[in-house]
Amino acid sequence: MQLDKLVQLINLELKKDSSISVNKICNKLQLRQSTVKTKLRNNGYSYNAEQRQYTKDIPMDNGSTPDIKTTKIKSKAEDIQMYNKDIDINSLKELIDMIEPLKAIIEEYNKSKTIIEVSPIELKAKAVTEVKQKLFKVDVEVLEKWNKFIVEHKEFKVQQLISLALEEFINKYS
């Protein structure tokens, strides 16, 4: 298909349906969008979004050259310094030089640190054969911790845990 006819077809479709895009038109025509757009651009066509159509760019060749404004391109260092006036370039260079030694220190630290795995507590509550009732007054905070502990260890009876705790206390402090 000739390029001029393709442009006319695309422009016509765009005018007919305001919801259709150039990509959908290309799909409808079974053409690759990128190929069509590249060909149009390379042959002097540009898409005007306000008018929703492709137009041919006409080069202005009236013998005069247009006024072109030139600007100085700043170097990256100047640009960085413009926004970071309080940072010294030499300090940054020093930091950059320290990156490798710092990496080595971190690697050495990671190698030397040891991870201690704590095994879960194994309670060896003995079977209570003979029991006697006793009334205790307990601090409220201790009682809250005790109740939480009991809820987490439902596999034991309360009397087993109290007997074990008292026995360990007596063995440790007697």
pLDDT tens track for 98-115: 888 898 888 888 877 766
Instruction: Show Cβ contacts of residue 59 under 8 Å, excluding neighbours closer than 6 positions.
Output: 44
Higher pLDDT, 70 or 95: 95
Using a 10 angstrom Cβ sphere, with 0-12 exposed, 13-18 middle and 19 or more buried, the burial of residue 136 is exposed
Higher pLDDT, 108 or 85: 108
Residue-level pLDDT at 62: 58
d(CA 161, CA 127): 10
Q: Which residues of 46-64 are buried (b: 16+ CB within 10 A; e: fewer)?
A: ebeeeeebbeeeeeeeeee
3-state percent helix, strand, coil for the chain, nearest multiple of 5: 50, 5, 45
Least trusted range by pLDDT, from 20-24, 79-83, 100-104, 157-161: 79-83
Token pair recorded at residue 88:
């010294």
Percentage with pLDDT > 70 across the chain: 78
Mean pLDDT over the full length of the chain: 80
| Torsion angles phi and psi, residue 56, rounded to 5 | -85, 125
- pTM for this model (two decimals): 0.34
Answer yes or no: is pLDDT of 63 > 60. no
CA separation (Å) from 39 to 11, 42, 43, 63, 158?
16, 5, 6, 28, 85
d(CA 1, CA 109): 69
**Which range among 22-26, 64-68, 87-91 has the greatest average pLDDT?**
22-26
CB contact at 8 A, 22 and 47: yes
Using a 10 angstrom Cβ sphere, with 0-12 exposed, 13-18 middle and 19 or more buried, the burial of residue 10 is buried
Token pair recorded at residue 26:
């290309």
pLDDT tens track for 11-50: 888 888 888 888 888 888 888 888 888 888 888 888 888 8
116 pLDDT band (50/70/90 cuts)? Answer: low
Residue-level pLDDT at 139: 93
